[in-house]
Amino acid sequence: MHRRQKPSAPEHKRDLAAHGGALSVSHNDTRSFFNFSQLVLAAGHLKSPPVLKHSKITYFEVEILDVQSKKQICIVDKVPPSSTLLDVKHKFHKACPQWYPSRVGLQLERNGPYLKDSINIQSLAVSSIITLYFTDLGQQVGWTTFFLTEYTGPLLIYLLFYIRLSTIYDQVESTKNFRHPVVHLACFCHCLHYIRHLLETLFVHKFSGGHTPLKNMIKGCAFYWGFTSWIAYYINHPRYTPPSFGHRQVSFAALAFLMCEAGNHFINVALAHQNHSGLKACFPSPTYNPFTWLFLLVSCPNYTYEVGSWISFAVMTQTLPVGIFAFLMIIQMSLWAQKKHKLYLKRFYPEVRRKTAMIPIVF
């Protein structure tokens, strides 16, 4: 029988040394890989995604400072991350009742723009404390109130001159003089114009719930009401003389006026329903309605029709006050149209780039 010989002591130690060496090499490789990983992570530290930036913040504190003195007015605490700036304004109003939300202007920087009410408060935060600057915007009125007041005045003022009050005209002269048919037609057209504006304000135009300073409404009312008084005084005066070309001039001008009024209404309806489909916002395109075909030439056809109405009314009545008012309306509408045209170019460049702002040019 052969016996298994035990390895000698030197050989046994050699084998253990060999196995131990292998284990040692494996352990050293693991440590080297770990050290290398640490070096890579230290060289390029991974940042947390912006979405999780405030994930651990339960509430924000909004510090409101005066924009002029930089003094602290109040601190609105326990503002949830889902709150909007309008929610902050309501809480600010509770702390300072003299400033209701519509007259509060908040800025992220002293010389920066006023922040919109719909902005989410979390998008403004870099920490749990948000600093905003407060400006008192003064007494405000809603846009619906603004337009209803501005358009109701001319409607009533013109009718007061049309009935020829004794306090305005000489009563004896008013009863003797015959009224030319254009006087009655002018009253009808003028009332139709402002009734359309009033109805569109109530049922067509969509306001975002914003406000405007009261002084703007006062200036608008002074302009419209003052010119209406001047216009109505001359057209309804007992000594008013009819247009030079008589019935033909009045008829063509009245027809143009009615067409411009209809076009203005259909354009306003199209603008109010431009996002009705729920798809991505796009510039209104002409429909089967011929009055909307002006969209092919200009980006603000509502201003084109508005100016056309007043030019037609000036030709129909042939009075200097209406001519001056139409000229001022052309200037004002051109400024508004240029401003809107620039915004349309940014939002709808492919559709608007070949159009003009208000005056159609055909090449």
If asked whether residues 165 and 86 sit together in one domain, one would say no
% of the chain exceeding 90 in pLDDT: 63
37 is written with which tokens? 């990983």
Domain that holds residue 162: 140-241
Given pLDDT bands bounded at 50, 70 and 90, which one contains residue 147? very high
Q: With the CA atoms of 187, 192, 194 and 196 taken in that order, what torsion angle do they form, in degrees rounded to the nearest 10?
A: 180
Tell whether 91 is covered by a domain: yes
Q: What is the pLDDT of residues 204-257, one digit of tens each?
A: 998 876 789 999 999 999 999 999 999 999 999 999 999 999 999 999 999 999
If asked whether residues 266 and 252 sit together in one domain, one would say yes
If asked whether residues 165 and 126 sit together in one domain, one would say no
pTM of the model: 0.78
Looking at residue 15, its amino acid is D
For the chain, counts of helices (H) and of strands (E): 10, 6
If asked whether residues 332 and 344 sit together in one domain, one would say yes
Tell me the torsion sign for CA atoms 143, 147, 149, 150: positive
146 is written with which tokens? 């603004």
Report the interhelical angle of 214-235 vs 143-162 (nearest 10°): 20
3-state secondary structure of 182: helix
If asked whether residues 300 and 197 sit together in one domain, one would say no
- Mean pLDDT of the 114-140 span: 90
Q: Which of 60, 63, 138, 130 is nearest to 95 (CA)?
A: 63
How far from 178 is each of 142, 171, 237, CA to CA, in Å?
44, 13, 11
If asked whether residues 340 and 351 sit together in one domain, one would say yes
Q: Which one of 220, 241, 262 terminates a domain?
A: 241
If asked whether residues 212 and 319 sit together in one domain, one would say no
Tell whether 227 is covered by a domain: yes
> Can you give the pLDDT at residue 171?
80
Neighbours of 287 (CB within 10 A): 12
If asked whether residues 198 and 217 sit together in one domain, one would say yes
Identify whether the C-beta of residue 294 lies closer than 8 Å to the C-beta of residue 359. no
> Can you give the pLDDT at residue 210?
78
> At 87, which CATH number?
3.10.20.90
- Mean pLDDT of the 109-132 span: 90
Tell whether 51 is covered by a domain: no
Tell whether 187 is covered by a domain: yes
Please report which helix (H) or strand (E) contains residue 62, including its range. strand 60-66
Q: How many domains does the chain have?
A: 3
Least confident of 49-63, 103-117, 202-216, 342-356: 49-63
279 has pLDDT over 80 = no
Tell whether 78 is covered by a domain: yes
If asked whether residues 205 and 285 sit together in one domain, one would say no
Tell whether 11 is covered by a domain: no
How far from 349 is each of 185, 340, 343, 352, 360, CA to CA, in Å?
43, 13, 9, 5, 18
Tell whether 180 is covered by a domain: yes
Tell whether 24 is covered by a domain: no
